[in-house]
Amino acid sequence: MPATKTKPYIGQPLKRVEDPRLIKGIASYVDDLKMPGMLHMAILRSPYAHAKITGIKTTTAKAVPGVVAVLTGADVNDKCGPVPCAAAMPVPKVPKHTVLAGDRVYFVGHPVAVVVAADRYVLRDALDLIEVDYDALPAIADPEQALAKDAALAHPDFGTNVAYTWTLANGDLDAVFKAADRIVKQKMVHQRVTPMPIEPRGCLTSYHAGEGTMTLWTSTQVPHLIRTLVPGLIGIPENKMRVVAPEVGGGFGAKLQIYAEEILCCHLAQRLAAPVKWIESRRENASSTIHGRAQVGYYEVAVKKDGTVLAIKARSIADLGAYFQLLTPMIPTLTGLMLAGCYKLKAVRMDLTGVYTNTMATDAYRGAGRPEATYLVERLMDCVADELGLDPVKVRLKNFPKPSEFPFTTATGLVYDSGNYAGALKKAQQLAKWDALLKQRDTARKAGKIFGVGLSTYVEICALGPSKIMPAGGWEWGCVRIEISGKVTVITGTTPHGQGQETSFAQLVGDKLGVPMEDVVVLRGDTNVAHFGRDTYGSRTTVVGGMAIVMCIDKIIEKAGKLAAHLLGAKKVSFKNGTFVAGKKSIGWPQLAGEAYVAKNLPVGLEPGLEASAFYEPPNCTFPFGTHIVAVEIDRDTGQVKIVKYVAVDDCGPQINPLLVEGQVQGGIAHSIGQVLFERTVYDENGQLLTGEFMDYAMPRAGDIPVYIMGSTVTPSTSNALGIKGVGEAGTIGATPAIANAIIDALSPFGVRHLDLPLTPEKVWLALQKGGAR
């Protein structure tokens, strides 16, 4: 079939290729996979935040019919693990993260023992029959209190709760602060939150004794990182390990990890000579899958009276939890890198203290350090406007770099590729009908209503990144193959799990090769298929994964051009819409592919086949940006916040599929609505987790979502040929401060300048009472 496609796919809001299997319920998530002789594994976890284990009795559990094994740390910790951390941070004392606890537990949810049985119901029976004796020890759960002299120690052996200190300093901060007209100060708490993908974690492992090969199917964002790091932890050569991410039910950073259970499950498959499956319960997901945010900071801004922002100084405490997961100590440093926001500062300083607490590890949760930066910078901009009696919009406009100043080097040392911050702000104001919205606020307030308007102008860092700044490579790999039939197979080293690259990459390839999208299949998430990859996180997939594919296509077109010229008897051919043309003669992909693989009539020196692979090394990160404008109304009697207007203008460069971009932004905003209004992971003073279920951890439901007015501007990145920037985290980064600023604006007539998130009805109502609800 000759290619007939003429209309470009790129830029069209096409519905997704991956959807039919998902809406029919015939997709395969990890718990849908079954193997003959498969066993199930479950973990017994610590109910204490800090305790000494004085005894474990497993005999009763072992006696349950159908139980295959009951093992403790003493049985497995010297055979597999430890759980790796890949962050290159100088940390003096790092606790050894064994897969099961040794003689102590350090957080609620800490794995203590493992049970294996053929039946999941029997498994849970047996789990309840393991007897563990604990001697409870003093625990510390609050990161700021952890720094007090008499604080309980998360790891008593270390003699301190301080894991590390880290400083980022640029410019002459002292001089700039001296020259300032005013110093605006604010403490802010970025509460701990839980990612909560709707599919909990889970894995299935199978060891082939004859081949010596291990296969791990796991609900992960990073099968390639797992394949790099896990083989050495289970005693298998890297090239005998296969990792597959089947359908993955949400990640948000929580699955950008290598977890104890994955390592343990591999070990047990080998040890017990049977496939082993582990599926996490929601309760385990809340206690033992990474958490996010959890920073407390004291922030200062040096400003001129006219609203010129000179410098930002931050003293931050990051709650790391009891152990390091894959990137734990590195995440808060991203807050430092983005501390300049989208403003021209003369100096910046962040002094960061990472502390251990008896809690689950924090790590990359959607945005990973950047939402914290944007939140604090954008809240500070409103505090500055408030103190100086200026318009928050004018303060922002005064401090933006102009479009002509890009590439723009920030006070933190990053080089922003391209930007038009005032352009996005102006567009958002237009869509929000800004002047009318302010009048609406005045009218509402006169009528006795509590009404507020807020905005955030954000910039974020995406497409991580050049290899020199990444722990283990920032490149991406791709492969494109024109099959003998002319169909096109695309393999990406990224691992999309809901973002829709089976569609957007098919759009890209369809256009570049001039083939119908229906003829393109995008494969991902299997290390035996995608031989290399650095996977999906940090809004990198479309940019770096897409560019690797573009490189493959360029190579294929070059090779196919030589073959076409040979077959057409021409010296030169031109390529357009899937056809190579020389004069009046032409040849398309199906015919070329046939010739390339049958290989009876190839030009001298040309290899058979039509396949190319490529590694793309990004020269820089990308820096998407935008403006979100929010209006809220607050119920005087209950303190309940209602978002009455939401305008989002995001600039991620040219959009391959605007429908998918819209979905990413809206999904991100929902995470922010959760963080601003309801969500907080709570440990009590004893380190007991109080938000261990959906019952206690309030996430947004459909009724909490406003009607969106969505817009975009297009400022192409100068870092890659497609000009694209990435959008997976934009909503979560831009929305949190916009919503918070609107609520604080609503409360400002009551004397409120700042409240820490989440702004629950109770907190808002109390603030109203304190200010004397008028």
The residues that touch other proteins, with contacts defined as CB under 8 A, are 15-16, 18-20, 22-29, 31-32, 120-121, 195-200, 247-252, 281-282, 497-500, 659-660, 662-663, 666-671, 673, 693-695, 699-703, 705, 707-708, 731
**604 or 695: whose CB is closer to other proteins?**
695
Q: Are strands 641-651 and 708-712 parallel, antiparallel or unpaired?
A: parallel
Q: In angstroms, rounded to a whole number, what is the distance separating the alpha carbons of residues 675 and 659? A: 25
CB of 667 to other proteins, least distance (A): 4
CB of 360 to other proteins, least distance (A): 18
Cα-to-chain-centroid distance, residue 354: 20
Question: What sign results for the dihedral spanned by CA atoms 392, 394, 399, 403?
Answer: positive
**75 or 125: whose CB is closer to other proteins?**
125
Q: CA 430, 432, 433: angle at the middle one, nearest 5?
A: 65
Reduced to 3 states (helix: H, G, I; strand: E, B; else coil), residue 199 is coil
Q: In angstroms, rounded to a whole number, what is the distance separating the alpha carbons of residues 81 and 139? A: 26
From the number of C-beta atoms within 10 Å of its C-beta (0-12, 13-18, 19+), residue 673 rates as buried
Q: In the 8-state DSSP scheme, what is residue 545?
A: I
738 neighbors 625 (Cβ within 8 angstroms): no
**124 or 566: whose CB is closer to other proteins?**
124
Q: In angstroms, rounded to a whole number, what is the distance separating the alpha carbons of residues 725 and 655? A: 9
CB of 76 to other proteins, least distance (A): 26
CB of 702 to other proteins, least distance (A): 4
**681 or 715: whose CB is closer to other proteins?**
681
CB of 666 to other proteins, least distance (A): 4
Reduced to 3 states (helix: H, G, I; strand: E, B; else coil), residue 238 is helix
CB of 557 to other proteins, least distance (A): 31
Reduced to 3 states (helix: H, G, I; strand: E, B; else coil), residue 711 is strand
530 neighbors 505 (Cβ within 8 angstroms): no
Residue 334 region by backbone torsions, left for phi larger than 0, else alpha for psi between -120 and 50, else beta: alpha
CB of 185 to other proteins, least distance (A): 34
CB of 34 to other proteins, least distance (A): 9
**436 or 707: whose CB is closer to other proteins?**
707
**247 or 476: whose CB is closer to other proteins?**
247
Encoded tokens for 308: 């010129």
Give the C-alpha distances (Å, rounded to integers) separating 660 from 11, 89, 399, 503, 665.
11, 36, 32, 9, 9
Task: Find all residues with CB under 8 Å of 8, minimum gap 6, and list them.
Answer: 511
Q: In angstroms, rounded to a whole number, what is the distance separating the alpha carbons of residues 383 and 737? A: 12
258 neighbors 97 (Cβ within 8 angstroms): no
Encoded tokens for 28: 């395969």
**195 or 590: whose CB is closer to other proteins?**
195
CB of 295 to other proteins, least distance (A): 22
598 neighbors 537 (Cβ within 8 angstroms): no
CB of 588 to other proteins, least distance (A): 31
The DSSP code sequence of 423-482 is HHHHHHHHHHTHHHHHHHHHHHHHTT-EEEEEEEEEE--BS---GGGSTT---EEEEEEE
665 neighbors 646 (Cβ within 8 angstroms): no
**33 or 56: whose CB is closer to other proteins?**
33
CB of 474 to other proteins, least distance (A): 25
Which backbone phi and psi does 484 adopt, to 5 degrees?
Answer: -60, -25
**655 or 720: whose CB is closer to other proteins?**
655
CB of 196 to other proteins, least distance (A): 6
Tell me the H-state helices in 180-281. 223-229, 231-234, 260-272
CB of 12 to other proteins, least distance (A): 13
**26 or 209: whose CB is closer to other proteins?**
26
Count of CB atoms situated within 10 Å of the CB of 436:
9
CB of 660 to other proteins, least distance (A): 7
Strand order in the sheet with 641-651: 450-459, 625-634, 641-651, 708-712
CB of 535 to other proteins, least distance (A): 15
**217 or 532: whose CB is closer to other proteins?**
217
Q: CA 426, 643, 725: angle at the middle one, nearest 5?
A: 45
**365 or 408: whose CB is closer to other proteins?**
365
Q: In angstroms, rounded to a whole number, what is the distance separating the alpha carbons of residues 291 and 357? A: 13
**26 or 604: whose CB is closer to other proteins?**
26
**549 or 660: whose CB is closer to other proteins?**
660
CB of 738 to other proteins, least distance (A): 15
CB of 42 to other proteins, least distance (A): 13
Reduced to 3 states (helix: H, G, I; strand: E, B; else coil), residue 258 is coil
Count of CB atoms situated within 10 Å of the CB of 33:
18
**120 or 439: whose CB is closer to other proteins?**
120
Beta-bridged to residue 166, according to DSSP, are: 352
**92 or 703: whose CB is closer to other proteins?**
703
**22 or 690: whose CB is closer to other proteins?**
22
Q: CA 441, 446, 449: angle at the middle one, nearest 5?
A: 65
**275 or 297: whose CB is closer to other proteins?**
275
The DSSP code sequence of 350-405 is EEEEEEE-SSPPB---TTTTHHHHHHHHHHHHHHHHHHHT--HHHHHHHHSPPGGG
CB of 495 to other proteins, least distance (A): 12
